[in-house]
Amino acid sequence: MNTDNSTWSRNQCNYVMIVEKSFDKFDEIKCSPDFTIPSAIDWSIGNLSCAKVKKTICGHNSYCANSTRGEGYLCRCSHGYQGNPYLPSGCQDIDECESQKENMCPKNADCVNIPGSYYCTCRQGYRSDLSKSSPYGYTCILDYERHMLVTLIFVGVGVGISILILVVTGFWLIRKFKKRKLEKTKERFFKRNGGFLLQKQVSTSNRGSVLEIKIFKTEELEKATDNFNQSRILGKGGLGTVYKGMLSDGCIVAVKKSNKVNEGQVGQFINEIVILSQINHRHIVKVLGCCLETEVPLVVYEYISNGTLSQHLNNNNTNSSTSPLSWAQRLRIGAEIAGALAYLHSGASTAIFHRDIKSSNILLDENYRAVISDFGLSRSVPIDRTHLTTVVGGTFGYLDPEYFRSGQLNDKSDVYAFGVVLAELLTGQKVISSNTSDQGLAFRFKTTLKQKDGLFEMLDRVVANEGGEEEIFAVAKLAKRCIKLNAKKRPCMMEVATELQRLARTNGEDLQRRPKGCELSYFSSGAMSFDYSLDLFTDETM
């Protein structure tokens, strides 16, 4: 530094500094106390080179560099690190990805920092492409195939989700629509099946005898009968089919599914419900409720477990689960049926005519007690009055001929049908045989009674072996009176019930006195005649 040089005297801002040899920006120096110029001092540690130094004092992530003066060495931070290389952990990783200036990643590329360095990766949907015009040596261009694939995937997923939403919404709307339609259908069926008529009859009843009727839901009865499975059928009739079912509380019931009804039969169905709800008799089936929401009405009855009287009387019955009825049982069953009919005819202020008494409508419980069922054709009329019907109802073979001709309904029509049932109990024969010319059991029975010993030829084997002479003739005479063509000459059911109950009690006493194993056979002697029964054969008034 030559301070005698003229420049020192002309320049009022004079500095002395140590700079790198490459520094050439002296004209930018300003005379200001805040002005700084980068300076460099070349120094080194010791006088040995890195190769000869066994152990340096350089820290982690650093390296040893020989001094530029030729003697000693210096510590430098490794590439990608910065800090004090002489401290154990002085050199720290530089995150080149924090600033675009620190990395060389091109457009549409992501910078990924790694210890001491970084790398670039093209973004999703782009791919690398070598390019001389790019300062980075490559560029990230749009991957059209991948982009198209991704676009298609996203579009497909979007469309799929949209379709799924539409399908789910559609199913929900359809289900809601079907539910609403089902509710309207149930309401329509309820109205068509006489639901409002039933409500009206119950509400307007002033006798206080209408029992509470449970209104079942369709689903309850479908579940109870296994969707009305054919294997659950107990029996079929002209008015419907009866299924065995079990309710959710474990109660066994009989569910009657009526045949498809028209408007004229609705009143008939409701009539059965109302009549049964008014009756409280141990030998008359109990109605538990009904369902009017279905296309055809459903009625729920108590379940009677031992089949019908018809099944037990049929001599050709091969069902091993049924056994022939004894004479005592037949007498008792006849007395029970007669007592129930007498109750219907005269046990209330309004008489009830069943109109369809037959052995298949008489059920037997586990103790062979008789229970009358199927009141679909029944009519309620004031006592001492008859009722003119426009449509005659009943079953051929049990149908009162006088009622069939006149249409005049009274209690004697039930008496006639019961007389046929008594004939069944005596003979065990079918009311209508397979012979096309057969006029029915009532005609056969009356015709046979005109013949001497004809009755015993017609009797069921069990009746002939177990029954007493007086009892058999008394029941036969009673049956004959019941099936007289002239209804006025028929006895009333109260008289019939009284006589049969007397015979049943007498038979019970005789059985107690009769020695065990003693049986009477009325077929062994061939011809029979009884003085006290002559009127049975000689009475010409049929």
pLDDT digits (tens, 9 = 90+) for 62-76: 999 988 877 889 999
Confidence of residue 356 (pLDDT cuts 50, 70, 90): confident
Say if CB 523 and CB 464 are below 8 A apart.
Answer: yes
Separation of first and last alpha carbons in the chain: 168
Dist CA 336 CA 362 (whole Å): 10
Amino acid (1-letter code) at residue 12:
Q
Asked if residues 392 and 407 have their Cβ atoms less than 8 Å apart, the reply is yes
Residue 113, CB half-sphere, CA atoms under 13 Å: how many? Answer: 13
Q: Which residues pair with 278 in a beta bridge?
A: none
pLDDT of residue 272: 65
Mean pLDDT of the chain: 79
Instruction: Count CA within 13 A, CB hemisphere, residue 68.
Output: 5
Residue type, 114: I
Residue among 391, 353, 360 nearest 375 (CA): 353
Question: Identity (one letter) of the amino acid at 140?
Answer: C
Above 60 in pLDDT, residue 350? yes
Confidence of residue 168 (pLDDT cuts 50, 70, 90): very high
539 a catalytic residue:
no
Tell me the longest C-alpha to C-alpha distance in the chain.
185
| Residue (of 99, 108, 45, 42) closest to 75 by Cα position | 45
Exposure of 233 by Cβ count < 10 A (0-12 exposed, 13-18 middle, 19+ buried)? middle
246, pLDDT greater than 90: yes
Q: What is the mean pLDDT of residues 277-303?
A: 85
**Residue 399 pLDDT:** 87
Handedness of CA 417, 421, 426, 427 (dihedral sign): positive
pLDDT computed for residue 536 by the predictor: 52
Q: What is the pLDDT of residue 518?
A: 36
Domains and CATH numbers, the chain: 97-142 (2.10.25), 193-303 (3.30.200.20), 307-542 (1.10.510.10)
Interatomic CA distance for residues 198 and 271, integer angstroms: 9
Give the confidence band of 147 by pLDDT, cuts at 50, 70, 90.
Answer: confident
pLDDT, average across residues 171-180: 91
Q: Tell me the average pLDDT across 75-91.
A: 91
The two structure tokens encoding residue 355: 């109109």
**Which comes out higher in pLDDT, residue 239 or 141?**
141
d(CA 417, CA 401): 10
Amino acid present at 302: E
> H-helix or E-strand containing 306?
none
CA atoms within a 13 Å half-sphere pointing along the CA-CB vector of 40: 8
Other CB atoms within 10 Å distance of the CB of residue 235: 20
Pairing type for strands 287-291 and 350-353 reads unpaired
- On the CB side of 33, how many CA atoms lie within 13 Å of its CA? 0
| pLDDT in the model for residue 238 | 65
Q: What is the model's pLDDT at position 432?
A: 84
Question: Mind listing the pLDDT tens digit for each residue in 207-237?
Answer: 544 456 788 888 899 999 999 999 998 887 6
Count of Cβ atoms closer than 10 Å to residue 175 Cβ: 10
pTM listed for this prediction? 0.61
Find out whether 400 and 416 touch, Cβ atoms under 8 Å: yes
More confident residue, 441 or 25: 441
- Per residue in 184-202, pLDDT (tens digit) is 888 888 887 777 777 777 6
For 347-372, what is the mean pLDDT? 86
Q: What is the pLDDT of residue 84?
A: 92
pLDDT greater than 70 at residue 383? no
Residue 390 has what pLDDT? 40
Q: Is 139 left (phi over 0), alpha (psi -120 to 50) or beta?
A: beta
Residue pair 536/473 in contact by the 8 Å Cβ criterion: yes
Percentage, residues of the chain above pLDDT 70: 75
Compute the 3-state secondary structure of the chain and give helix, strand, coil in percent, each to the nearest 5: 40, 15, 45
Per-residue pLDDT reduced to its tens digit, 16-38: 677 777 777 777 666 665 666 66
Handedness of CA 415, 416, 418, 423 (dihedral sign): positive
Is the model's pLDDT at 125 over the cut of 90? no
Model pLDDT, residue 515: 43
- Average pLDDT (318-330) is 71
Position 498 scores a pLDDT of 94
Q: 126-130 and 287-291: which strand pairing?
A: unpaired
Q: Residue 524 pLDDT more than 50?
A: no
What is the rounded CA–CA span in Å between residue 240 and residue 222? Answer: 16
Please give the residue that has the higher pLDDT: either 515 or 532: 515
Instruction: List the catalytic residue out of 143, 356, 374, 411.
Output: 356
What pLDDT score does 389 carry? 45
Residue range 466-501, pLDDT digits in tens: 988 889 999 999 999 999 999 899 999 999 999 999
* The predicted structure's pLDDT at residue 526: 34
| Segment holding 195, helix H or strand E | helix 195-204
